[in-house]
Structure 1
């Protein structure tokens, strides 16, 4: 089972946009059964799929803190066939405090998601909060591969290097040798001299993992989120859909993709490139 985490300690890097639409692409184009796991207090992953996360009786916080709550009681369906979401909301702010003194505090998420494979999920996609605290450490322990969205701003390389150092440290200290960064995705791209310079620096630092397709600005992506829809439901022929499809293909296949193309039949998750 592939377990892909979208992580950056900086906010505003399009992390949720990439996580939600990549998860939807995997379900829609590859016919996979995908669980999108939201761990952010804002609950934007669920909101992006049309859920009113404020009114749900249980969310990922209850799964992580109450041993009587089962995974199937919290998972919510989405309008995209094959895509389910494990929603989050503001209660997640208390999660690190509640488990801080436990010896397996970094493994709580992995332990509670253990039934996911038996439930038939092919891929888990994690949307992390914009921090590198205990919640994100739980995500790194539960994941096997990390995607780092990097906004093309002046401090982009610094933030990406910090994520890379954390991934290496968690892999060593938590016994997760398979954990690694598999893709670095440039976001907030504009055709400026600064963006080009930052891309060149990222290419030098991440020669094997930098995505060939940067995520640029497209109003249809923002509009889709405001309507609680993925780009595939809202504007499947838009430049934003083509960009997100190409990026999703790179993330999953490890090679540059050509955008979204409807797949036929269900396929099993392949190993990471």
Structure 2
């Protein structure tokens, strides 16, 4: 079972957009049973699928902190056949405090999602919060591969370098030596000299992992999210749908993580 984590320590990189629509693409185009796991306090992944996360009696926080709560108690269906979501909301802000005394606190997510494969799920897609704390560490322990959305802005390379190093360190510390970044997806692309220069540098540093399709600005993507729909439900013939499908295809086709030294950005 693939476990794909979308992670960036910076907010506003298109992480949730990629996670939600990649999960939907895997369900729609590859016929997989997919569980989208939201771990951000804003609950945007669930909201992007039309789930009213504010009114749910239980969410991922309760699954992670209460042994009596089962996976099936929390999972919500979506309008996309084969795609379900494990929603999140503001309670996740308290997660590090609640589990602070647990020696295996970094393994909570992996352990609580253990029944997912027996339940028939073929892929887990994680939407991480925009910070590197205990929640994101849990995601890295639970994941088998990491996708890093990188906004084509001035500090993009520096943030990407830190993310790659963090993945390496967590992999070593938690006994996951094969965990690594398998895709770097350029986002917020505009046809400017700065964006193209950053894109060229990313190509030099990640010749194999860099997605060949940058995600540019597209109003239909924003509109789809505002209606609680994926791009294919809202505007399947749009340029946004074309871009997201191409990126999802690249993520799907990414080779299994290769052993060896992870790439570093100087």
Is the structural similarity TM-score above 0.5?
yes
Alignment correspondent of 2:147: 147
Q: Is the 8 A contact 1:110 1:141 kept in 2?
A: yes
Alignment correspondent of 1:268: none
Alignment correspondent of 2:215: 215
> Structure 2: how far apart are the matches of 1:10 and 1:206?
19
> Structure 1: how far apart are the matches of 2:114 and 2:178?
17
Q: 1:97-246, aligned counterparts within 5 Å?
A: 97-246=97-246
> Structure 2: how far apart are the matches of 1:7 and 1:97?
22
Aligned-residue CA RMSD in angstroms?
A: 1.0
Alignment correspondent of 1:66: 66
Q: What is the TM-score normalised by the length of structure 2?
A: 0.96
Q: 1:64-103, aligned counterparts within 5 Å?
A: 64-103=64-103
> Structure 2: how far apart are the matches of 1:51 and 1:272?
33
Structure 1, unpaired ranges of 5+: 256-270
> Structure 2: how far apart are the matches of 1:176 and 1:105?
16
> Structure 1: how far apart are the matches of 2:119 and 2:151?
35
Q: Secondary structure at the match of 1:150?
A: strand
Instruction: Report the Cα offset of residue 124 of structure 1.
Output: 0.1
Instruction: Report the Cα offset of residue 272 of structure 1.
Output: 6.1
> Structure 1: how far apart are the matches of 2:61 and 2:254?
32
Alignment correspondent of 2:10: 10
How many matched pairs?
Answer: 258
Structure 2, unpaired ranges of 5+: 259-266
Q: Secondary structure at the match of 1:54?
A: helix
Q: 4+ residue runs of structure 1 moved beyond 6 angstroms? A: none
Instruction: Report the Cα offset of residue 178 of structure 1.
Output: 2.3
Moved more, 182-191 or 97-106: 97-106
> Structure 1: how far apart are the matches of 2:213 and 2:254?
12
Write out per-residue CA displacement over residues 58-97 of structure 1, whole angstroms, 9 at most, x where no aligned residue.
0000000000000001000000000000000000000011
